[in-house]
Amino acid sequence: MTFVGKILVILIMAFALLFLGISTVVFTTSTNWKKATDDAKKQVSELTKKNSDLTAALDVSKGDLTKAQTDHKAAITASEQKIAALQADIKTAQDEITAARSKLEVAQQSASVALAEAAENHKETLQIRELKSAVEKQANEFKIQQTELVDKIREQERQIKTIDDNNKDLRDRVARYSTLLRKAGLSDDIRNIKGLESPPPVEGVVNKIDAQNQKVELSIGSDDGLVVGHELFLYRTKPRPEYLGKLRILSVDPDQSVGKVIGKTVQGKKIQEGDIVSSTIRPRS
C-alpha cells in the first residue's frame, strides 16, 4: 500500500470513529443527556486529539511526500543525467570501437602488405644467398686462377730471366766473335759476309701446297743450309722439264721449310706436289 493510501485509510478510520461517537451520543441522549453530553464531549475531545494527531501525522506525511517527491525528482534527474552520461559514454565507446575497427582494418592491411613484403624480402634474401654463393664460388675460382696466373708469371719471369741471361751470353759471344773477326782482319758486319745472300747448293721436293697455291712446304731445311730469305727456283720434270718460277724461304726447320712464290708463276701454272726446288739449276736467260 502506498503512502497516500495509508493516509486515506487513517482519515476513513477517523470519520468512522466520529460517526460512531455521534451515534453513541444520539443513542445515549435518550436516557441521560448530561452523561451523554459528557461522554460525547469526552469522545469529541478524544476524537479531536486523534484528529489533531492524525492531522499532524498527515502534515508529516505530506512533508515526507513532498520530500519524497523532491528526492524522486532529484533521483530521476540524477538518473537522467547518469543515463545521458552513460549514453555519451556508450557513444564515445562506439566511436572508439569504430575507430579501433578502422585502425584494425588498416593494421590488417598493413600486416598483409608487411607479410607480402616479408615474403618478397625472404625470396630476395634467398636469391642474394644464392648469388653470394655463386660469387664466392667464382671468387674461389678467381683465386685459383690468380694463383695459377701468379705461378705462370713467376715461371715467365724465370724464363725471361733465363732469356735475358742467354741474350747476355749471346751478346758476349757476338762481342767475342766480332773481336776475333776484327783481329783476323775481317769485317764483323753481317751484311758484308760473302755467301750469306746466296743459298747453298740444295735440291728438294714440294711436299704440300696451300689452297691459294702460293705457299709450299719443302723437303729441305736448316740442316741443308737454308735460312729465311734464301730464294730457290721451281721446276717440273714430268711430262717434260719446264721452269715454273721462284720462291722465297719464310721459315725453316731442321728437315723442312716453308716458302712463298715470288710474283706469279710462268703462264700462271699451278704448283703441284712433287715439283722440284733447286738453288743450282737456273732458268735459261
Q: Could you tell me the domains of the chain?
A: 199-278 (2.40.10.340)
Contact yes or no for 55/10 (Cβ under 8 A): no
Q: Please, which pLDDT band fits residue 186 given cuts at 50, 70 and 90?
A: very low
Q: Tell me the C-alpha to C-alpha distance, in Å, between residue 206 and each of 72, 216, 223, 272.
A: 142, 7, 17, 7
The pLDDT tens digits of the residues spanning 219-258 come to 999 999 999 889 999 999 888 889 999 999 999 999 999 9
| Residue 27, all three cell numbers | 443513542
Which triple of cell numbers denotes residue 153?
A: 708469371
Does residue 30 register a pLDDT over 60? Answer: no
Q: 3-29 and 33-183 helices cross at what angle (nearest 10)? A: 180
Best-predicted range by mean pLDDT (32-46, 121-135, 155-169, 204-218): 204-218
Give the closest residue to 273 by CA, choosing from 186, 222, 209, 230.
209
Distance CA 153, CA 158 (A): 8
Q: Looking at residue 285, what is its pLDDT?
A: 57
Q: Cβ contacts of residue 28 below 8 Å, gap of 6+?
A: 35, 36, 39, 40
For residues 37 and 21, is the Cβ–Cβ distance under 8 A? Answer: no
Predicted pLDDT of residue 105: 87
Are the CB atoms for 236 and 225 separated by under 8 Å?
no
- Give the model's confidence band at 31: pLDDT under 50 very low, under 70 low, under 90 confident, else very high: low
CA angle, 148 then 150 then 152, to 5°: 70
219, 205 contact by CB (below 8 A): yes
Report pLDDT digits (tens) over 142-183.
Answer: 788 888 888 888 888 888 888 888 887 877 877 776 676 566
Count of positions (residues) in the chain = 285
Q: Are 36 and 29 in contact (CB under 8 A)?
A: yes
Mean pLDDT of 21-29: 71
Annotate 54-69 with three-state secondary structure. HHHHHHHHHHHHHHHH
Q: Helix, strand or coil for residue 17?
A: helix
Q: What is the pLDDT of residues 64-92, one digit of tens each?
A: 778 878 888 888 888 888 888 888 888 88
At 247 the pLDDT is 93
Residue 218 has a pLDDT of 96
Per DSSP bridges, beta strands 231-236 and 276-278 are: antiparallel
Residue 31's H or E segment, with its range, is none
155 or 54, greater pLDDT: 155
**Of residues 155 and 217, more confidently modeled:** 217
Residue 260 pairs in a beta bridge with 215, 248
- In degrees and rounded to multiples of 5, residue 126 shows phi and psi of -65, -40
DSSP 30: T
| pTM score above 0.85 | no
| Terminal CA-CA length for the chain | 169
**Residue 116: CB partners within 8 Å, gap ≥ 6?**
none
